[in-house]
Copies of this chain bind each other. A is one copy, B any other.
Amino acid sequence: METENTKAPKNDPAGQAQMRKGVLEFCILCILSEKDAYPSEIIDAMKESKLIVVEGTLYPLLMRLKNEGRLAYEWKESTSGPPRKYYRLTPAGKDLLKELYASWSELVGSVEQIVKKYSSNIL
């Protein structure tokens, strides 16, 4: 009897959305390690590296990191619109950044090893 509890994905051509899970968090912490920034700035910085993030993704992520004590923020006035929430890394946030960097490096190492070892004919 065939089990049919697994459906085809909806709108994720080549698993791009799934692959970036956990990576966005790392990238955001990277960007904030350079200087404080407000959400729209972060989105622009990610876009420059071809990592598209939308508000619906970024805001909950920042909120979660703040609740975990990894980030803090302060309101600052803007010359062209409503005030902005500038986020900055806390010491705990810097710790997380280091841990995520280690995890990322390890993951890349493992995957590259598998690619080289097993997949001799991808192209």
Query: How far, in angstroms, from A7 to B68 measured CA to CA in the complex?
Result: 8
Contact A101 B114 (CB under 8 A): no
Check if B111 sits within 8 Å of A23, measured CB to CB: yes
Evaluate contact between A108 and B108: CB separation under 8 angstroms. yes
With a cutoff of 8 Å between Cβ atoms, the chain B residues found around residue A22 in the complex are: 15-21
**Are the CB atoms of A122 and B33 closer together than 8 Å?**
yes
Q: Does A50 contact B (CB under 8 A)?
A: yes
Give, as a whole number of angstroms, the nearest-CB distance from A113 to chain B.
5
Query: Within 8 Å of chain B (Cβ to Cβ): is A103?
Result: yes
- B14 engages A49 (CB within 8 Å): no
Contact A114 B8 (CB under 8 A): no
A38 contacts the other chain (CB 8 A): no
Q: Knowing A15-B103, A30-B119 are in contact, say whether A6-B114 is a contact too (CB < 8 A).
A: no
Q: List 23 A-B contacts (CB under 8 A).
A: A5-B63, A15-B25, A15-B99, A16-B107, A18-B22, A18-B25, A19-B23, A19-B26, A20-B22, A27-B111, A30-B118, A31-B118, A33-B119, A33-B120, A34-B118, A34-B119, A46-B114, A49-B110, A50-B106, A51-B114, A97-B119, A101-B115, A104-B111
